A and B are shown apart, each in its own frame.
Chain A
Amino acid sequence: MKLTRREAAALLSAPAAPAPPQAAPASAETPEQLLAAARNRLRRNLETLAKIRLPGAIEPAFQFKAS
């Protein structure tokens, strides 16, 4: 194909095509396995938290004050 100088210049100055979005690779695990893994992760976190002694007076944290 033969291009005029104007066409060639237009082609050269045109922005390159955007990088195609890459999809997340398909998981080798089934959705059930992934859910079980997520539950295990939460369970491990809960077990870790259960080891901490909490005096009854300790209330949940919601407020932050400058000290």
Chain B
Amino acid sequence: MAGFDEAVFFATIGELNARLLAREFSVEELARAFADRLEQLGPRYNALALSLRDSALRQARKVDEELKRGRRRGPLQGIPYGAKDLLSVAGRPTAWGARPFAGQVFDYDATVLRKLERQGAVLIGKLAMVELAGGGGYRWAAASMTGPGLNPWDPTRWSGGSSSGSGAAVAAGLVPFALGSETWGSIVTPAAYCGVTGLRPTYGLVSRYGAMALSWTMDKIGPLARSAEDCGLVLQGIAGGDGQDPGSAGKSFYYAPQFARPLKELRLGFAPADFEQWAEPAARPDFAQALATLRGLGLRMKEVALPEFPYGAVAGLIIDTEGSAVFEELISSGKVEELADQKQIAGLKAGLEVPAKDYLRAMRIRRLIQQELRKLFMDVDLLVSPARFGPASKISEPLDRPRSEAPRPAQRGLSELGAAGNLAGLPALVLPCGFAEKLPIAVQLVGRPFSENTLLAVGREFQRVTDWHRRRPPAPAGA
């Protein structure tokens, strides 16, 4: 990329913002360089849904003018970024990763995109995703109109889903940060598989207006970025009440790590079984080191286990039922058959048949889960577990089969923290913590509702003493 050192593409928001303010390069030059890179390399990872080069360069020139006039809008001013293709951009295609919606165009911008534009961030592209964010349940990584998300660390591996392009684009240095969404695992998984930092905010903290719905009661939008610090800056930019989102909590978020409680006061819950039995053998050494690092930061470690509930069954039923209701017209019209993944088609159809009483039963159990998790968080301030128990799966392997012949560990530990955390609307921060089979692995920190600043403070300290989040995948041939 002419004029730009490779390091620029892997710089943090703070570093880029400082260089923009120092006039080392203009916002337009930066946006152009990232747009070039996204267009050139994005397709190699099946990460790009739509380049927005022209509108990005217009926005970049506007921001350059503002900077010349001395108008400062904050740390995101002039920073290019990408957004998962479930967020609508007025007048441009928003396909939700699904062939039946190719060419779909809305006449309004998603709230999160408007917020970022007001702060001077520059949207350079829409990023690929699993079709319909995985609604109905998919078997193959190729469940997307753009093909399987390929992992920049090894393109024979999956970049994770459903925010596949968001994870790959940040990891490969195609954007400094990206927006993704999570209903159950869709930020956590691509962040972990691609070795980037991801933040799933508390349900209701970030507006979903203008985003595809999969599950009205579980959808969240959040950032994937280079560091916990960057996730905090982006969350600050996108959080806030929105009357157009019925799920909005009406709360703002100010990234203020300086006011976080000292780490020595924080109690960190963990389950040894997660790290010693559930984790795949190749990942255990680095997971153990991550735990040791957290302990070394002064956190008070406490062994815990999740209360006994069938978290996966509850989450699955709620998402299946709500997702099929969202896409009822797609299913009844027969256009659902155009989806790429046959299992997903069947899952969406079956979800329409769930009786109301059973959906309500799941939602009532969910209430119990929230109550019991609240009690758990009286004993600890946050929880830690592997974000995924092993590295990214192979593109060629079905996702719905066990990866190991080994029997399931007897102790549950926090192995269902993903389902539990999403059911209770809890925030999660994904921190890269090492490698297994030459692929990234990560831990997740989960906290009480609206405790993002605590998670970010711990994440920031973890990343102060480790450099896993700074590692870069090999440059692709010809780049």
Give the one of B204, B320, B361, B377 with max A CB within 10 A.
B361
Chain B: interface residue total (CB-CB under 8 A): 67
> How far does the Cβ of A18 sit from chain B's closest Cβ, in whole Å?
3
Does B367 lie at the interface of the complex (its beta carbon under 8 Å from any beta carbon of A)?
yes
> How far does the Cβ of B99 sit from chain A's closest Cβ, in whole Å?
11
Given contacts A58-B367, A60-B366, A66-B450, contact A19 B155 (CB under 8 A): yes
Does B395 lie at the interface of the complex (its beta carbon under 8 Å from any beta carbon of A)?
yes
List, in ascending order, chain B residues with CB within 8 A of A19's CB. 43-46, 147, 150, 155
A24:B342 contact, CB within 8 angstroms = yes
List, in ascending order, chain A residues with CB within 8 A of B361's CB. 49-50, 54
A67:B310 contact, CB within 8 angstroms = no
B310:A23 contact, CB within 8 angstroms = no
> How far does the Cβ of B306 sit from chain A's closest Cβ, in whole Å?
15
CB-CB nearest in chain A for B342: A27
Does B325 lie at the interface of the complex (its beta carbon under 8 Å from any beta carbon of A)?
no
Interface string of B216-242 (1 = CB under 8 A from A): 010000000000000000000000000
Interface string of A50-67 (1 = CB under 8 A from B): 101010001111101111
Cα of A24 to Cα of B202 in the assembled complex, Å: 33
Interface string of B358-395 (1 = CB under 8 A from A): 10111111111110001001000000000000000001
Give the residues from 18 to 60 in chain A that come closer than 8 angstroms, CB to CB, to chain B: 18-27, 29, 31, 34-35, 37-39, 41-42, 44-46, 48-50, 52, 54, 58-60
Given contacts A21-B46, A64-B424, A64-B425, contact A34 B477 (CB under 8 A): no
List, in ascending order, chain A residues with CB within 8 A of B369's CB. 61
Between A and B, how many residue pairs show CB distances below 8 Å? 143
B310:A48 contact, CB within 8 angstroms = yes
Does B347 lie at the interface of the complex (its beta carbon under 8 Å from any beta carbon of A)?
yes
Does B196 lie at the interface of the complex (its beta carbon under 8 Å from any beta carbon of A)?
no
Cα of A50 to Cα of B157 in the assembled complex, Å: 38
B364:A60 contact, CB within 8 angstroms = yes
B146:A21 contact, CB within 8 angstroms = yes
CB-CB nearest in chain B for A56: B364
> How far does the Cβ of A42 sit from chain B's closest Cβ, in whole Å?
6
The answer, among A24, A45, A50, A52, for a CB contact under 8 Å with B140, is A24
Give the residues from 387 to 425 in chain B that come closer than 8 angstroms, CB to CB, to chain A: 395, 423-425
Does B33 lie at the interface of the complex (its beta carbon under 8 Å from any beta carbon of A)?
no
List, in ascending order, chain B residues with CB within 8 A of A31's CB. 342, 345-346
> How far does the Cβ of B267 sit from chain A's closest Cβ, in whole Å?
15
B449:A67 contact, CB within 8 angstroms = yes
Q: How large is the interface on A (under 10, 10 to 19, 20 to 34, 35 or more residues)?
A: 35 or more
> How far does the Cβ of B358 sit from chain A's closest Cβ, in whole Å?
5
Does A16 lie at the interface of the complex (its beta carbon under 8 Å from any beta carbon of B)?
yes
Cα of A34 to Cα of B336 in the assembled complex, Å: 14
A35:B350 contact, CB within 8 angstroms = yes
Does B139 lie at the interface of the complex (its beta carbon under 8 Å from any beta carbon of A)?
yes
A15:B346 contact, CB within 8 angstroms = no
The answer, among A14, A20, A38, A59, for a CB contact under 8 Å with B343, is A38
List, in ascending order, chain B residues with CB within 8 A of A25's CB. 140, 142
> How far does the Cβ of B379 sit from chain A's closest Cβ, in whole Å?
13
List, in ascending order, chain B residues with CB within 8 A of A50's CB. 361
> How far does the Cβ of A32 sit from chain B's closest Cβ, in whole Å?
9
List, in ascending order, chain A residues with CB within 8 A of B362's CB. 49
Cα of A34 to Cα of B138 in the assembled complex, Å: 11
Interface-facing stretch out of B105-113, B291-299, B311-319, B434-442 = B311-319
B349:A67 contact, CB within 8 angstroms = no
The answer, among A24, A54, A58, A66, for a CB contact under 8 Å with B143, is A24
Does B329 lie at the interface of the complex (its beta carbon under 8 Å from any beta carbon of A)?
no
B310:A52 contact, CB within 8 angstroms = yes
List, in ascending order, chain B residues with CB within 8 A of A59's CB. 364, 367
The 12 sampled A-B contact pairs (Cβ below 8 Å) are: A22-B148, A24-B139, A24-B142, A38-B343, A38-B350, A39-B353, A41-B316, A42-B354, A49-B310, A49-B313, A58-B368, A61-B363
Apart from A60-B363, A60-B364, 4 more pairs, CB < 8 Å: A16-B478, A29-B342, A41-B347, A61-B363
What is the interface of chain B, defined by CB distance below 8 A to chain A? 40-41, 43-46, 136-140, 142-143, 146-148, 150, 155, 202-204, 217, 249, 309-310, 313-314, 316-317, 320, 340-343, 345-347, 349-351, 353-354, 358, 360-370, 374, 377, 395, 423-425, 448-451, 476-478
Which 7 residue pairs spanning A and B have beta carbons closest together?
A: A21-B147, A18-B43, A60-B363, A38-B350, A34-B346, A24-B140, A61-B367
